[in-house]
Chain A
């Protein structure tokens, strides 16, 4: 196992300064770090603590290559997601976010590790717990908070809400409210990618609740028949709303449920394991067709903001996971144990993130709601000048362009 040693503490702080500068000037989460220390890109090989379990395939190595730069990026990205979801909790309780709000805190490693293994040309589709996936695909904090609060600056111009984020140009296809529907849709993306000979793959995310849906097996059958480059990722947080996996699935070994389709069980709280698994899965899917990844993960919040999350699980269980397996803490420990940054530097990063999140919220709060005319936009791409009406047809009519 190779360990990186940075030459001096001054180069360590050089590592982090460019990050802050970039953070304040660009909206994206990923920023190039200047080569102040060449050690940024030196390879670190780290062993994942939980080995992979394979079904119908050979598991990849649990020795994962990474770099100091990548680990620091992981920390920053996941800490941002954590902060963002906690802030959304407060906004919901303040009634600035309405309707449904499904939070992802605890599951950050899945979104971040996946992103590290793929490109923006690969597609991702998920269900309604999509804020962090949208962020990882290039969405900004401002777009997210604006959409959650129903403002016109939102990713879907305020017309979608929490469950309907999309970023097509970055390969993110939503954002879906019907449990399980995103699975055939995602396999359709893989079909189109193969049809277009793009050499890319589709990551199709679903939960342990959706894993029992019939349409999943229908679409998986077709994916296997037609050799589609589809990677089904079961984000198993062990509870489908309030129903524990053992009460919903006769066989909760979700990575095996594909039968003839290979599968891999992954520690979903370990960002490096996720990255390794996704890299492996992408190579597999391009050559051999569909594969299932089961991410063993956990959500700290309830199913949604309407669910306290403690009627069907004990507080001990929740705090136990937080202590033993928290994905952000694990990366913090890695960074510290490899001397990639000091505790203070990491705390400063978190402070910086908190500031960014607060600024985005403040800006989103002041931003305008959509214009009433937006009620009638985007019903069709081509409306042929049809008339659409409001509740009182004699009062409100619009022409669809």
Chain B
């Protein structure tokens, strides 16, 4: 099931089936023991909470608003303890009125405050999308720099588990198409901390796409990333795993799936390079292109709908800039072209699975199995 997966410390086993912890260029299992900085672990939830806490502490202009962020401690407990620490003037429970409170947040940003607006899920951001696009994204341009909007819109995005069609939509492609916005999608706890802190400090409107199913997952965090000044650069992807035969791009939860797929591919003699996009807009085209120029093959992975999606943009970027380096057509793994069904078996068929990524990578390497053999 798409449940919470916990990494076992000190397992020392040869199988690295646990989902994505930062895997630098060290394929051997025992190598990570010499990672003295990887001793601490943190859930994505705690990572986000600590990032919010530190940024609110550092800058009195930062405040948090959204449904249930205060007394309820956050619908997903991301804002736990913040009301008690910062008071009701800085942690504001709003009525269930996205259009209203998002507009209020953007107006406060016009004046110079630094709001963090939480959407309980990004599905509800559609009620406020006019403010995100027309009031926030475009203002700096239309005013020739007079009205900047240092706001962060954050919350869980994409599919959860069994929540049905209206609560499972991925908005990465929607927001990332809009100039004036920055769109980030963390995967690990370090991503969550570093990117959220960067987003809050950024002077432009940032859409911060979290994932509900990742909140409870634990990842190792370096001592550096625990420092309150830690920030990750916006617009830079991370190579989670180096490889030489095929490039696999992914973001958010799919990074974990891509890493698992890479493990399976290793056994079949295919060395996959996994890129964690981290930033959907700006997209790190140079890292992706450099990787494809090395491997000559590309599989894009995303949970959202394929048409006009993130993978489509990445594929076009490669065609425009690295066409001559491709040895195979670009493969695209995405959610099924259907509203999300509820039944567990149908839901499983509607989202990418690890085997889909493995199969696509093999196709890209001309090592595919006949179609009929697919389970």
Contact = CB atoms under 8 A, between A and B. Distances in A.
Interface stretch (B28-36, B139-147, B352-360): B139-147
A206 to B, nearest CB: 12
Interface string A167-211: 110000111111001011111111111011000000000000000
A185 B136 CA distance: 10
A282 interface: no
B110 A188 contact: yes
A388 B234 contact: no
B113 interface: yes
Interface stretch (B75-83, B101-109, B299-307): B101-109
A60 interface: no
Contact of A378 (B95, B107, B141): B141
Interface of A: 123, 125, 156-160, 164, 166-168, 173-178, 181, 183-193, 195-196, 214-215, 217-219, 221-222, 225-226, 377-382, 384, 386-388, 393-394
A218 B97 contact: yes
A218 B105 CA distance: 13
Contacts of A156: 142-144, 146
Can you list the 5 inter-chain pairs with the closest CB atoms, starting with the nearest?
Answer: A188-B107, A184-B103, A218-B100, A192-B111, A218-B97
Contact of A178 (B102, B134, B204, B233): B134
B148 interface: yes
Interface string B270-312: 0000000000001001000000000000000000000000000
B95 A218 contact: yes
Contact of A386 (B130, B134, B142, B235): B235
Contacts of B100: 184, 187, 215, 217-219, 221-222
B120 to A, nearest CB: 16
Contact of A186 (B107, B203, B285): B107
Nearest to B104: A188
A323 B200 CA distance: 56
A196 B113 contact: yes
- Which of A164, A188, A379, A388 is packed against the most chain B CB atoms within 10 Å? A188
Contacts of B99: 184, 214-215, 218
B183 to A, nearest CB: 12
A183 B130 CA distance: 13
Contacts of B111: 123, 173, 188-189, 192-193, 196
A191 B107 contact: yes
B322 interface: no
Contact of A188 (B108, B130, B150): B108
Given A166-B147, A167-B146, A174-B147, A386 B282 contact: yes
Nearest to B107: A188
Given A160-B142, A181-B135, A218 B203 contact: no
A192 B95 contact: no
B63 interface: yes
A195 B143 contact: no
Contacts of A160: 142-144
A382 B203 contact: yes
A74 B204 CA distance: 40
6 contacts: A159-B144, A173-B107, A173-B111, A181-B131, A192-B112, A382-B204
Contacts of A176: 135
B89 interface: yes
Contacts of A191: 104, 107-108
B289 to A, nearest CB: 12
B180 interface: yes
Contacts, number: 159
B193 interface: no
B235 A384 contact: yes
B239 to A, nearest CB: 19
B147 A379 contact: no
A183 B150 CA distance: 19
Contacts of B260: none
A216 B150 CA distance: 23
A164 B203 contact: no
Contact of B234 (A158, A193, A215, A384): A384
Given A175-B143, A381-B204, A388-B179, 15 more contacts: A160-B142, A160-B144, A164-B142, A166-B146, A168-B110, A173-B110, A174-B143, A174-B147, A184-B107, A188-B106, A217-B100, A219-B100, A378-B145, A379-B179, A381-B140
A215 B131 CA distance: 11
Contacts of A181: 103, 130-131, 134-135
B287 to A, nearest CB: 13
Contacts of B95: 218, 221-222, 225
Contacts of B135: 176, 178, 181, 185
Contacts of A185: 103-104, 106-107, 110, 131, 135
Contacts of B110: 168, 173, 185, 188-189, 192
Interface in B85-125: 89, 92, 94-95, 97, 99-113
A388 B283 CA distance: 11
A215 B102 CA distance: 10
A189 B108 contact: yes
A247 B111 CA distance: 36
Nearest to A394: B320
B202 interface: yes
Given A159-B141, A164-B143, A191-B107, A218 B101 contact: yes
Contacts of A188: 103-111
B279 to A, nearest CB: 10
Contacts of A384: 233-235, 282
Interface string B134-175: 110001111111111010000000000000000000000000
B182 interface: yes
A149 B302 CA distance: 45
A209 B67 CA distance: 29
Contacts of B150: 381
B107 A177 contact: no
A384 B102 CA distance: 26
Nearest to B111: A192
A287 B145 CA distance: 34
B146 A195 contact: no
A306 B147 CA distance: 29
Contacts of A193: 111
A343 B150 CA distance: 52
Nearest to A375: B141
- Which of B97, B110, B179, B233 is packed against the most chain A CB atoms within 10 Å? B110
